[in-house]
Amino acid sequence: MIFDLAAHIRRQRIFSTRTFGPGPRTAGIIDHIKKELREIEDDPLDLDEWIDVIILGIDGAWRAGYTSEEIPIALAAKQLKNELRDWPDWRAVGTDQAIEHIRK
């Protein structure tokens, strides 16, 4: 199956605007992400909760003014940027700690 992320974002934008209203709604989106993260803490294997965070992130991005085409491009660019960064040995970091790239 080929998934067109830009088309999905256009669909999500229509639904989200109709359901939650126009405008940035940044504080509300952040509040909702925090709630979803708590739900993930309670059940880290629940895929629906992980997807809720992704949907909210995309919602926040287009509400911040980015187009349905810019968001997938930024996603791919950020992944490439992360792949090119230096990272510490994951074995040296506790599983309850964030692993951040090495800042030069």
Task: Break the chain into its structural domains and give their ranges.
Answer: 5-72
Q: What is the pLDDT of residues 54-99, one digit of tens each?
A: 999 999 999 999 999 999 999 999 999 999 999 999 999 999 999 9
3-state SS track over the chain: CCCCHHHHHHHHHHHHHHHHCCCCCHHHHHHHHHHHHHHHHHCCCCHHHHHHHHHHHHHHHHHCCCCCCHHHHHHHHHHHHHHHCCCCCHHHCCCCCCCCCCCC
Q: What is the pLDDT of residues 38-52, one digit of tens each?
A: 999 999 999 999 999
68 vs 76: CA distance, rounded Å: 13
Q: Which two tokens stand for residue 85?
A: 């960064």
